Amino acid sequence: MDLEYENGLRLCSFFKNYFNCTDKCNTKKYCSNCCDFYYINLKQIKKLCDSEKLKDSHCFQLLFGFKKGSFKSEDKLFNFRNYHITYNQWSTLLSFLENGIKYLKILPNEKILQLTETCNKFGGIIYFDKQFKLYLNELNKPNLNKIKKPDEDINNIYKWKIVLDHDLTNFYKNFTDYNYSGHSEKITSITTVFYFKKLV
Ligand SMILES: [Zn+2]
């Protein structure tokens, strides 16, 4: 596959979320009911395939023709339409591959489900499975609430602020993104400090 040709940009056929086309339509080059055309950047995809993120995703690489496989000739472009993948779903996959777990955290659940489906259509993507597992682990981490002081925060997942009692009102006003950790200490007979944290 010549990645230099047209700078790696290729026009691809995407699915348009219209399931009512007949099987015959599959063989047509262009069908305005179920096809959308968008550019993909093969150089970007190849770079991802060479990175840690996709190096184990052999099926994905075969489908894009980066590895010689028995079921795909090298120069034939992947047809998203035939796999019922919309441009939107493809973009979501790319954003995920570029950003990992950070992107999962801002995706609504239904989009994550869709992303799972898209990954499955590419024969599964191990990087997604791993990041998704991490994401679920973080969601169900009851232990996080047990971290009440900086010295308990061994993985440095929080930013900390220690606030004097008479500064509390001001603090609440100016640092709305911090939460009380549940820990306070009396440092003099009249002064108490409170510990606040937020995720880094
Ligand atoms: Zn059609």
Question: pLDDT digit string (tens) for 57-78?
Answer: 998 998 888 876 555 444 567 8
Residues 131, 167: one domain? Answer: no
For residue 63, report the distance from its CA to the centre of ligand 1, in Å: 22
**What pLDDT sits at residue 137?**
86
Beta strands in the chain (DSSP E): 9-15, 35-41, 158-164, 179-186, 192-199
For residue 118, report the distance from its CA to the centre of ligand 1, in Å: 20
For residue 42, report the distance from its CA to the centre of ligand 1, in Å: 25
pLDDT of 26 above 70: no
**What pLDDT sits at residue 142?**
60
Q: Considering its fold, how many domains does the chain have in total?
A: 2
Residues 98, 126: one domain? Answer: yes
- Whole-angstrom Cα distance, residue 135 to residue 104? 7
pLDDT of 183 above 80: yes
**What pLDDT sits at residue 143?**
62
Residues 136, 149: one domain? Answer: no
**Which of 117-121, 128-132, 160-164, 178-182 bottoms out in mean pLDDT, i.e. has the lowest?**
178-182
- Whole-angstrom Cα distance, residue 57 to residue 131? 14
Instruction: Please give the model's pTM, rounded to 2 decimal places.
Output: 0.67
Residue 140 CB-half CA count within 13 A: 5
* Portion of the chain with pLDDT greater than 90, in percent: 48
**What pLDDT sits at residue 47?**
94
**What pLDDT sits at residue 73?**
47
Find the domain containing 149 and state its range.
145-199
Which of 140, 157, 183 terminates a domain? The answer is 140
- Whole-angstrom Cα distance, residue 181 to residue 53? 36
For residue 22, report the distance from its CA to the centre of ligand 1, in Å: 7
Query: What DSSP state is assigned to residue 33?
Result: T
**What pLDDT sits at residue 141?**
65
For residue 157, report the distance from its CA to the centre of ligand 1, in Å: 50
**What pLDDT sits at residue 91?**
95
Closest among 72, 47, 52, 54 to 62, alpha carbons compared: 72
Other C-beta atoms within 10 Å of 114: how many? 18
pLDDT band per the 50, 70, 90 thresholds, residue 1:
low
> Is 104:112 a contact under the CB 8 Å cutoff?
yes
- Whole-angstrom Cα distance, residue 44 to residue 35? 23
Closest among 45, 35, 34 to 10, alpha carbons compared: 45
Closest among 73, 69, 139, 66 to 101, alpha carbons compared: 139
Query: What DSSP state is assigned to residue 166?
Result: G
pLDDT of 50 above 80: yes
**What pLDDT sits at residue 115?**
97
> Is 86:114 a contact under the CB 8 Å cutoff?
no
Residues 25, 86: one domain? Answer: yes
Residues 156, 90: one domain? Answer: no
Which residue is it, tokens 């290729």? 10
pLDDT of 148 above 80: yes
